[in-house]
Every structure is written in C-alpha cells, then in structure tokens.
Amino acid sequence: MVRFVLMHTFTEENYLKTIYHCTLASGSATTNQIAAATNTRAASVTDMLKKLSEKKLINYAKYQGVTLTAEGEKIAIGVIRKHRLWEYFLVEKLDFKWDEVHEVAEELGHISSIELIDRLDKFMGYPKYDPHGDPIPDSNGRFKRQELKPVSGLAVNDTGVVLGVGDHSTAFLQYLEKASLTLGTKLTVIEIIDYDHSVVLQIADKKLNISREVAKNLLVAL
Amino acid sequence: MVRFVLMHTFTEENYLKTIYHCTLASGSATTNQIAAATNTRAASVTDMLKKLSEKKLINYAKYQGVTLTAEGEKIAIGVIRKHRLWEYFLVEKLDFKWDEVHEVAEELGHISSIELIDRLDKFMGYPKYDPHGDPIPDSNGRFKRQELKPVSGLAVNDTGVVLGVGDHSTAFLQYLEKASLTLGTKLTVIEIIDYDHSVVLQIADKKLNISREVAKNLLVAL
DNA sequence: GATAATTTTTAGATAAGTCTAAACTTATGG
DNA sequence: CCATAAGTTTAGACTTATCTAAAAATTATC
Ligand SMILES: [Mn+2]
Ligand SMILES: [Mn+2]
Ligand SMILES: [Mn+2]
Ligand SMILES: [Mn+2]
C-alpha cells in the first residue's frame, strides 16, 4: 500500500490529534489524559511520546506533559480537517445522523491523500462547520473558533442559539436529538433550580427542564 | 480505533483480494504471483498463506498454490465492491480522472463500515460499472461478468465498443485517454499488420494504429 | 531418470505498537 | 517537611507483518 514521504502513521496522527484536543480542553496534555482518550495504557503513551519528540512533533520533558510543536499542530489540524469534512459528508450526502458519524470518520480521517480531501471540500461547497458545530479548518489549516458558552453559564432571561456540544458521545447526541435540542435551536433560560442546578428552558412555545450535566455540555451563542 | 468482531486486517483483506484477482487472471494463485502483486517477498506471502489457511479463508497445501474458500471469496468480493464504488465516486463526484483513482481507492476500500458503503452505493444510484469498465458487485456480492474480447482477438472488419481494459496502470490509461480510446468508443478493425501484429482501427472518421501490446489490453464488446 | 533451474518454505531478525509489573518522580496533606 | 498517594517512566514481553539467507520441494531439461 502507498505511504508517502514525510507521511506519518495512522497511530502517530491519532496521538497528535488527541494531544491537540486535550490541550484545547484542559490547557495541557498529560500522559494519563492521552491514555484515556486513546484507550491505551500510560506506558504505551510514554513510548509514543518519545517517538513523537524525536520527530520534533511535540515538546516533551519527562514527567512534565507535552505540547505540540508548530509542525505537530499542523498535522493535528490536518487530521481534524479530514475528520470533520468526512463527518459533514456522511451527514449531508449520505444521510447519516449526527450521532452515527464519529467512528466512521475516525477511519476516513486518516486516508492520506490531500488531493482527495481538498476535492471533497470543494464538492461540498467548503462547509465551515461540521455536524456537531465544530469549525472545519480550511486547506491552510485556518479556522475561526466560535465563542460559545455552556447553557450552565447563562443567567435567567438570557437567550442563546445552540451551536455546539461539549460532549460528542452517542448517548448525549441522541438525548439532544430526542429533546429537539439540535443545532440552531433558539432557547431562553426561564429558571435555574437552586436544589440541583438544573435549568428550565423556553424553546419556542414549550418549556424544557435539563440537568446541570446537560447544561454544561450544551453550547450556545448569545 | 475500532475493530469489529470477525473483522480482518487491512493486510489480510489485501491478500484475499490479490488471490481473487490472480485466480481470475491466470486460473491459479501462486506464491510468487501474490508476492509480485502485493509488492512483498515470497517468504512473507508464505507466512500470510498459513495464517489465512488457519482462518479457513483459503485452501492451501504447501507448494501447490492456493484457492479461496467460499468465506475468503466473500471477503475478497466485498473489498472489490468497496474499491470500485470508491473509484466511481472519485471520478463521478470529485472529478478525478480514471488514471488517478486507483491508489486512493486502495486506501478507501478498506474502511470497515458496511453501512457506509451501502449508503454510498445508494447515493450514487447503484452504479453497475467502475470507471475502468469493471463490474461493481452488489451488496450481496453478485455481479455479471461482461463477455469482453481483446482487440487483438478480432478479425479484419470486426466492430466493437470499448468497455474495459486489461491493464489498469496509469501509463496505459493515460495513453488511451490521449488516443481518445475511452470507454464507449466504437471501433472497427481495418487491417492487421503481419510484421508486428499491430492493428489499424477506424474510429468515427479517423484511422488509428495501435500496437499488439495495446490491442491485447483493450477490451471490447462485439 | 538424473541433474539443473525455478519456486516455495523455513529459520532467524527487525520494526511498530501494544501490554503488565515494577521502579521512579512529583504532588499533597498532616 | 516528610510520608504516602498519584502520576509517569522503564524493563521486559508479545503480536503482526515484514525482510534476507539458506534449505527443501517441484519442474524443466538433457
Ligand atoms: Mn467526531
Ligand atoms: Mn464532529
Ligand atoms: Mn482500481
Ligand atoms: Mn477500477
């Protein structure tokens, strides 16, 4: 099978992507975080960190966690671009639901051809956001991060439009689907229950109560 | 990354597909043939044959070559279905040329999801032939083999329509493209040169001389 | 039918990625 | 400020897929 010069393995790309996401989510990427996210053991992660460090894709000092180098980040963003474009394709062209696409896109996102992904991008009209509201980097790796707030951060009478999720699990996405809390939904906070911090929302002419857990992972633009 | 129960590795699938193609092309699949086709060494092939044999995907007896079992053939045809559907997609939807798609489809053809490929098939309207004229198996693995003849097998005054190629190399496909010998072209044999067995064709209002080598790999329906 | 040429298999290594168990650092809280 | 917990790394092993070199089997040739 084809492997191009300067190509990185499926596995290496996966680690880089994971490090990127960990850093974004929690400000840093530690061995255990990466192990949890990649479903491997800490010892395996350490091995890979050494390898990526030698390839100058991450900055690594024993026991100190890691950050991506410019080159490592470029690769990570490339993988994320592929992943999100494929998710968009699966939902918009092949009629998958938003909770069904992540696993398949995980595989598709490692197909090496850049030509392929650029043509796919063009075919779909250069979409800006994936089915979960996450921004799709352009072919130069540029994208705007949306300024989104979790519903748990809103006050009573605040209004927002659902534009993203903080949890991409099938379970959460299916819950939202069922509750009609899909992307683009406009909502207003009616009440915040003291006892359990659950939130009562007004959506069109209906009221809906969501738990704090849900509120934290439901992201809106004001 | 996801690996399903009863899934086979990328590599195993590749060997099965290669064995299928060898058997079709030359009636049998030998260690050296497989090694040449997969760009590996005979010793590596032997190792894999033992493994596939243990999994009951091939019938293997030392020194005697191999054949696919029913299960092995089913997997091979599944991979071929994916490969050809992706080639169709690349040409019809993403505007790749027929000589550019094989390598990319080689990667895409190993994405595990059956759901994906069935939806892709539907999205494209259940195409019957890939960009090289090869039949695309349906979701039950069924397909009709076309009865095609190489132009080298025609006699003077015979007429045919180009519907397939015997050589899928970039070089050959580009040659055909340049010579306007694309799929669907109608041709008549005007003359067969004794000296080198080259063939003079009448195509619309033009004459074209092709070598015996080309004539052998240009497949037509009468 | 013996010998030479070809093909295939075995033996022994290597590289990538993973694991468990044990050792080592760093962080914490009494 | 040190003892223990938590987090990380090392050591050693395993699996998959590959290789080269050498041995064995098959096939072709005289
Ligand atoms: Mn995803
Ligand atoms: Mn997504
Ligand atoms: Mn092909
Ligand atoms: Mn083809």
Domain of A34, CATH number, reads 1.10.10.10
Q: What is the pLDDT of residue A26?
A: 87
Chain B closest-CA separation from residue A34 CA (Å): 14
The answer, yes or no, to whether residue B5 has pLDDT greater than 50, is no
Q: Confirm whether B129 is domain-assigned.
A: no
Q: What is the pLDDT of residue B6?
A: 61
Q: What is the pLDDT of residue A5?
A: 45
Q: Which ligand is nearest to the CA of A101?
A: 1
Q: Confirm whether A120 is domain-assigned.
A: no
Q: Confirm whether B86 is domain-assigned.
A: no
Q: What is the CATH number for A153?
A: 2.30.30.90
Q: Confirm whether B116 is domain-assigned.
A: no
Q: Confirm whether B216 is domain-assigned.
A: yes
Q: Which of A25, A40, A68 is the last residue of a domain?
A: A68
Chain A residues with CB-CB distance to B1 below 8 A:
10, 14, 106-107
Range of the domain at A195: 149-221
Q: Confirm whether B45 is domain-assigned.
A: yes
Average pLDDT over residues B140-163: 95
Q: Which of B38, B68, B98 is the last residue of a domain?
A: B68
Taking only the tens place, the pLDDT of each residue in A69-85 is 999 999 999 999 999 99
For an interface test with B, which of A1, A83, A110, A114 has the most B Cβ atoms less than 10 Å from its Cβ? Answer: A1
Please state the pTM of the whole predicted model: 0.92
Q: Confirm whether B178 is domain-assigned.
A: yes
Q: How many domains does chain A have?
A: 2
Q: What is the pLDDT of residue A112?
A: 81
Q: How confident is the model at residue B2 (pLDDT cuts 50, 70, 90)?
A: very low
Q: Confirm whether B64 is domain-assigned.
A: yes
Q: Which of A66, A64, A41 is nearest to A54 (CA)?
A: A66
